[in-house]
Amino acid sequence: MNSDSVNNTANTAETDSTHFIEDIIINDLKPGGRFEGKQVHTRFPPEPNGYLHIGHAKAIVIDFGMAERFNGICNLRMDDTNPSKEDVVYVTSIQEDIRWLGYDWDDRFYYASEYFPQMYELACQLIRKNLAFVCELKPEEIRKTRGTLSTPATPSPWRDRPTEESLGLFERMKQGEFPDGAMTLRAKIDLTSGNFNMRDPVLYRIVHAHHHRTGNDWCIYPMYDYAHPLEDALESITHSLCSLEFEDHRPLYDWVIDNLDGLPSRPRQIEFARLNIDHTVLSKRKLRALVESGIVNGWDDPRMPTLSGLRRRGYTPRSIRSFCNRIGVSKVNSTVDYNFLEHCLREDLNENAERVMGVLKPVKLIIDNYPENQSEYFEIENNPNRPEDGTRQITFSRELWIDEDDFRIDPPRKFHRLFPGNEVRLKAAYVIRCTGYRCDSDGNLLEIHAEYDPATRGGQTPDGRKIKGTIHWVDAKTAVEAEVRLYDNLFSVADPDASDQDFMSLVDPGSLIVLKDCKVESSLATTETQTSFQFLRLGYFCLDPDSRPDRLVFNRSVSLKDSYRP
RNA sequence: UGGGGUGUAGCCAAGCGGUAAGGCACGGGACUUUGACUCCCGCACUCGUAGGUUCAAAUCCUGCCACCCCAGCCA
């Protein structure tokens, strides 16, 4: 495990009740149970054909989490049985993302392709047992003979060919004597089953393609339904956790394992509901489309629900783990509120992020009664919730930047910020009173004028007077220029999948707002990527990799909650 | 019309025959040198629905309804 243990995080709210997968495992471990005396052994089996997203994070937390909870182990395995879709580039990104999330597989990193030789031998065993045959039907013919919801499949004309003939043909398939699609190895199960997966499913197909691991060693590749149970069994997996759509593949999963001799274990497949989150999409196909169309700026665009996107956005591994641990595990198709993910991030960052001041839409504030060439330092806490994080010095002088939103010429009701005649506290500095403002001929605000009260140094009010509003500011003399990128939901509609319109047209153009002329306090000049800060009163931000020393770029990870209602 | 699943609040989700946990969201209040945080309070007389069994049903039984998945040589 990484330094911040997955189980001991304050945010990983442990519930006193168990979910259904835990219940099953507990039962399996009991005396007389299916895995009595065995070590719980799970696996996370991604196909290396894309980037991991928050939905995978749920699976990772369940797979690794169940192993951890029962003092077991969890393998990482690339399910690379389809060379035409997979690539090495995904392998490393998947490993990086899982490590970043805080999980480790020790030396148990495998490829399904490592088992190709054994899978081939086991397939021969099925043929010899007269449980599989080589079928020469074309893909369309197989489809046509599979039957319908109400009618059974019709048998392949090759179904009853002699096992020796199938064995020979299967060997020749392997030798590369036939072109793609010419024939398949099929299981002989039940043509009348209401479950299509049992109607003589294809076990092997011919694919003359270069495989990223095995090169051109193979031109026949096992199908998921045949390969997956074997991968699990060969790794002595006890509990094979997957998503709901594989529920009706379970009979086939069990069939493969039950009909083969010499397997080291008989894993139990358990299915749970995959994660959905509103205002986004979580399908590889759609995420890929967003990237390839250029609607977003790559897989790690901070608006993307990919782990690389969330990471760049400023999501912490801890917040994502916390989220996954708290959404629950069940078999109900569900869509979690995006604001729950945001809640988990705020919860973490509120506890751990240092506070700084930054001004997004700067307007000049001039303290007319403050000496022109004077400057002074104020001490400000790094995190009021954690005094042990200490304090730092910030500079103050006659001219400051404050946020446009904190000033109104005509304030609405309950506006506690700056307006002509009103007093406000500059955080950690002085109480000031607005004495006026200047606009250009078009009515655009140029500068605000104020006078400070020297008796209120540090923001205190020795006379006990209550100051309703406290605003953030940055000293114009020492301010550092920055670009700030504000993000919002990629889709303003809650469920882009449900719309009649093409989901690509539903991307909210306001999901990214770039502010170029922001001013941040000088302490941020030397910060590093991935460090999260709270910009006081605004939200949580982190430095983007696009940053350069002369041009800082910050991403807003999430805003602060705001109960202000005019 | 076949097979496999699932229905508890706006969203997740406990509950496993003894009288509806918790979280998010939302509303109200307290506190506040962040309109943040924190802290209080409120938020399902009812569990898809109709019956049945029982002293007692979200939990057991039966019927019905709704929704999701399955007819790739994808995973």
Residues 268-307 of chain A within 7 A of strand B, judged by CB, are 273
Question: How is residue A555 written in tokens?
Answer: 């991403």
- Cβ of A21 near strand B (distance < 7 A): no
Bridge partners, residue A73, by sequence:
A41
Which H or E element spans position A559? Answer: strand A552-559
pLDDT at A17: 86
- Cβ of A364 near strand B (distance < 7 A): no
**Assembly ipTM:** 0.97
**Bases of chain B within 7 A of a CB of the protein:** 1-8, 10-16, 21-26, 33-38, 67-75
- Cβ of A243 near strand B (distance < 7 A): no
pLDDT per residue as tens digits for the range A127-185: 999 999 999 999 999 999 999 999 999 999 999 999 999 999 999 999 999 999 999 99
Bridge partners, residue A391, by sequence:
A381
Residue range A29-36: mean pLDDT, rounded? 96
The span from the CA of A174 to the CA of A159, in Å, is 20
Domain ranges, ordered by start, for chain A: 39-274, 277-354+482-559, 358-472
- Cβ of A48 near strand B (distance < 7 A): no
Mean pLDDT across chain A: 95
A2 pLDDT above the threshold of 90: no
Question: How is residue A426 written in tokens?
Answer: 């500059």
Which H or E element spans position A36? Answer: none
Banded model confidence at residue A15, pLDDT cuts 50, 70, 90: low
Residues of A serving a catalytic function are 47, 274, 284
CA A162 – C1' B72 distance (Å)? 27
CA A20 – C1' B55 distance (Å)? 32
DSSP A292-359: HHTSSSSTT-TTS-BHHHHHHHT--HHHHHHHHHHS---SS---B-HHHHHHHHHHHHHHHPEEE-EE
CATH code assigned to A39-274: 3.40.50.620
A565 pLDDT above the threshold of 90: no
Under CATH, what is the fold of the domain A277-354+482-559? Answer: Glutamyl-tRNA Synthetase; domain 2 (1.10.1160)
- Cβ of A246 near strand B (distance < 7 A): yes
Banded model confidence at residue A500, pLDDT cuts 50, 70, 90: confident
- Taking a C-beta distance cutoff of 8 angstroms, is the pair A358, A524 a contact? yes
- Residue type at position A53: H
The span from the CA of A2 to the CA of A344, in Å, is 20
Whose CA is nearest the C1' atom of nucleotide B3?
Answer: A194
A376 pLDDT above the threshold of 60: yes
pLDDT at A262: 94
Percentage of chain A modeled with pLDDT above 90: 95
Helical packing angle, A116-128 and A224-234, nearest 10° = 110
Under CATH, what is the fold of the domain A358-472? Answer: Ribosomal Protein L25; Chain P (2.40.240)
